[in-house]
Amino acid sequence: MLQQIEFKLSVEKQYKEGIDKMINLYQIEGDRRSKAEAEAKKVESTQKIQLLTKSRKRYNDMNIDFDEDEDNDDENTKLNSNIRRPLTGNLQISILAVKDVDHIVGARPIRGPESYLSVKVEDQIRARTRYVRNDRWNEEFNISVDKANEIEIAIYDKVNDQNIPVGLMWLRISDIAEAIRRRRVEQELSQTGWVSASKVQDNATYPGGSAAGSGFHPAHSAGPHADPTQQSPAPATPRIPSGVHNPSNITIDSWFVLEPAGQIHLALNFEKASRGTKRPYDGIGGLGRQGAIRQKKEEVHEMHGHQFVQHQFYNVMKCAYCGDFLKYAGGYQCMDCKYTCHKKCYPNVVTKCISRASNEVDPDEEKLNHRIPHRFEPYTNMGANWCCHCGYLLPLGKKNVRKCTECGSTCHASCVHLVPDFCGMSNEVANKILREIKKTKHRKAASVGSIETGRPRVNSASPRFDYGYGSGNQSPLSPARPPKSPQHLVYQNQNFQQQQQQQQQRQQSPYLDQQNVPQLQKIQQLQGQPDQYEHYQQQDYQQQQQQQQQQQQQQQQQQQQQEQKQKQKQKTYDLNKETPLPPIPIEGQESHQSIPSEPLSTTTAEPAGLSPQFDFKESQNVNPLPAASAVMSSLRPQRMSVEIPSLRPQTPPTAEPALQDQIQFNQLSQDDQSNRKSLQLSPDRRQVSPSQHQHHHLQQRKKKKVGLDDFNFLAVLGKGNFGKVMLAESRQTQSLYAIKVLKKDFIIENEEVESTRSEKRVFLIANKEHHPFLLNLHSCFQTENRIYFVMDYVSGGDLMWHIQQIPFTPRRAQFYAAEVLLGLKYFHDNGVIYRDLKLDNILLTLSGHIKIADYGLCKEDMWYGKTTGTFCGTPEFMAPEILLEQKYGRGVDWWAFGVLIYQMLLGQSPFRGEDDDEVFDAILLDEPLYPIHMPRDSVSILQGLLIREPEKRLGSSERDALDIMEHDYFKNINFDDIYHCRVPPPYVPKIDSPTDVANFDQEFTSEVPALTPVTKTLTPAMQEKFRGFSYLNGDIL
């Protein structure tokens, strides 16, 4: 509350400053009416500032014990910022009464002042009560809100025709909706006797009993509203008490605190507007199909290594660059270090991200020699302070807060190492300095370019002063110059005096080169003698020319020596005696033929950055092979290149016999000749090894193509957010396959090209060892508008369909959980996380074993310790770290595994809600409940898997699935027998014919198995993204 009051106070002060500016403008314009309205608003704003200041003082004087919840304050702040979001719906508010309010005392203290209340939604007045003197109203208002965050209620006293605020309060609409959701869940569970895991452990009637062998039957306790008289294995029909599931019948009736003093009696209700398809509500925990979601990739803005993405904040934040507030608005946040700033501020950020390598540092940043580190020390935070890096509110207390003793900057203890060493300097000043450095460097580069084009001999990068020039526009003095006129001598004398002043200034510079000191002393001796100075100028210029000529000669000698050394290492050979070619240098040979430079200069490209006189001999020192190969191809276009072991040209599989007979090597050693005998053999003498023959046979087998004409579509098996799955029959073999069909335009529009390729690679991982519990891939192919995954057909249906028909027994749930566990273990052992585990994606074979399907959300290269951050999954199965947009690893699969076991054992989901937002709130805040007589081992494994902290979750260690396999819940399971399918399954599905689809949802199978027409035409660039997608499993041939 203290932070919120601090924020309100700062906003109100800015509002008052704006009113003062408006009053001055109206006074200049002479608009008395507008000026009077502005002055009335100023009086109200001044009174609000007084109320907020008084309230802040009251909270600061409180004695607060920080040690109790200090560890979780920081996490709760960031968690609340994620669950508080703008809402749309209908707000019902009843204003009943107020008490203990400090009213303004008028001339008649016995008779209280007239008071009224106003209700604001996002600073807009939406409701207002009548005037009363007894502090009782009993008025009700219905307010429709659209993407609103908070409401403000203020009580005013009427004094001399002016309304003076005497009490304030604020409520977040998301808090109202969350309170109503929790109260609804409490009402639904009040009659069932379901309790938390800790109470189940204390009251378990089957200590040590496993789920498979106990007398616990989920059919009799599948939900709080299941029929207790039902003894058959038929599905339980939930009975919903009237008014329980209707949120409009739940009202929050309570007294709320006013600031700075008093209370107000309100009755609140909020009904959210339906957004799209509403989640079906079958009483508590009804299971139903739901598609997966994937957050669309956001545009990344890079700045000094920061990966900025636009982020919507639902809490009061502060920009780390300018220090202004981000009030329920969008800002930019770095995905790696969480640096937060305004959209307008991110281009000016001067700090580098921790993800940036040391060799990527901007040289301009290194020139900013302000490297004064902060002196951060533990600080007891008792007010409203924000982190100077991530922008979040700092928690109250001392443990997680640091403050610089020099400049006063505050930050989280975890953000200390991210704050730049700009103590005493603001980011704006640092940015100005860097801009000036860049401008100066740009001007230097421009001046260097202009000087080099006018006077080639000047090197502006050198700190030496150039005394060989008079003024800036003069040319160098030559020995044979014409006699000068008196006017010219006067003009030159003026230039000489100007140069003297410049040289005196340069002499004071600490960067003066030592070798220029004698020259400067000579110039000082020549003051007042222009003719002698001209003679010295000419003499100095001649000396500099001689030095440059000597340097050029030395460079030429060095180049010649290098050429001679290179020639000693080269040997040449003739490709044809009739048309001799320039020799190709071969390692370890000497060259005995000279290379003509003039003809070769027409066929070789001049390397960038070399002088025009650069010939082929010089190019050999850089890269001799491209030049020689270019000449060979130009002179012999009809002949094919020959492979030389010391070089690496591409060699075709065959060559012309005539060309091979003509090849002769000049002056080769015996070792070289023995190494190259294979090149002189004729094709008739060559033999093909068995391995080459087998490789050629495999290439012919891979040439077989699979297309749309090879299949007949028979039925629709399922549909999801990313495509459709249909049953198809091969026209050649009459085998049945399940084909997943995806539209290319949908993939491109949603940026799912790489995800589709990843799905194919995960299929290949599953095919590698033919895992018994993973779905295998037959082939992939594509048409103009679609891509197709041809998979094994599993005719037993999915577990969602089966659990809707009959609840699972504990033994059956345990059996399926063991097989799913082995499938996830195989994925994790191969660096893959699944991320979409649910009953819909687990298929049942005719032998009674499971197959994990749908690899669309899998992520590769996720070994132990690796993390990713994509927001994806099915809402009821998403782990808290995904919802909080944190980096996560393999632990998200084990959270989903816990939700899966919960659904199979109890027939409902542990986290429920009417829409996705309510489900997310339940995952972050609610505690799963269990029947009081549920076996202890079953509760224990669910309790271990459904831990919100991923580092404490069961299976989070490097042993991964082994920790779960060793849990007491699986103590009667032999996983080796499970893997080899030696354990008889508890249930075997039945079908009437191979094409019978009775085990699939009729919602899908009733559709016509046809491909809908596609009107959008893809460009060649779009089609290029799907190159190489086709695949055929060689094991099926």
Annotated binding-site ranges = 740
Round to whole Å and give the CA distance between 98 and 136.
7
**CB-based burial label for 635 (10 Å; 0-12, 13-18, 19+):** middle
Residues 74, 66: contact at Cβ < 8 Å? no
∠718-720-724 over CA atoms, to 5°?
Answer: 55
Whole-angstrom distance, CA of residue 718 vs CA of residue 727: 10
Residue 22: which residues within 8 A CB-CB, separation 6 or more? 34, 38
Contact 711, 735 (CB under 8 A): no
- Show which residues are catalytic: 836
Q: Coil, helix or strand for 252?
A: strand
State the DSSP H helix or E strand holding residue 563, giving kind and residue range, or none if neither.
helix 530-568
Burial code (b: 16+ CB inside 10 Å, e: under 16) for 595-607 equals beeeebeeebeee
Pairing of strands 340-341, 330-334: antiparallel
In the three-class reduction of DSSP (H, G, I as helix; E, B as strand; rest coil), residue 909 is classed as coil
For the chain, percent helix, then strand, then coil, each to nearest 5? Answer: 40, 15, 45
Q: By C-alpha distance, which of 23, 12, 11 is closest to 45?
A: 12
CA dihedral 128, 130, 133, 135 (to 10 degrees): -50
CA dist., res. 1 & res. 5, Å (int): 6
The C-alpha atoms of residue 570 and residue 590 are separated, in whole angstroms, by 4
């000036």: which residue's tokens?
A: 436
Tokens of residue 44, six digits: 């109200």
Sheet holding 330-334, edge to edge: 301-303, 306-312, 330-334, 340-341
Tell which residue, 722, 737, 736, has the closest CA to residue 786: 722
Phi then psi for residue 483, to 5 deg, are -65, 145
What gap in Å lies between CA 943 and CA 74, rounded to an integer? 25
Annotated binding site for ATP: 740
Tell me which residue of 223, 222, 205, 202 sits closest to 214, measured CA to CA: 205
For residue 645, CA distances in Å to 629, 636, 651, 673 come to 15, 21, 11, 12
The amino acid at 433? I
As a whole number of angstroms, the distance between CA 639 and CA 227 comes to 88
* E runs forming strands in 579-686: none
Place of tokens 């001044």: 46
Closest CA to 909 of 848, 840, 856: 840
Helical H runs in 342-414? 363-366
Burial class (CB in 10 A: 0-12, 13-18, 19+), 888: buried
Is the CA virtual torsion 675, 676, 677, 682 positive or negative? Answer: positive
The closest alpha carbon to 904, from 912, 896, 915, belongs to 896
* CA 1017 to each of CA 706, 741, 756: distance values in angstroms, whole numbers, following the listed order: 23, 18, 20
Distance CA 469, CA 491 (A): 14
Residue 938, classified by CB atoms within 10 Å of its CB into exposed (0-12), middle (13-18) or buried (19+), is: buried
**Calpha distance 734→736 (Å, rounded):** 7
User: Residue 597 corresponds to which tokens in the numbers above?
Assistant: 């430079």
Distance CA 625, CA 633 (A): 12
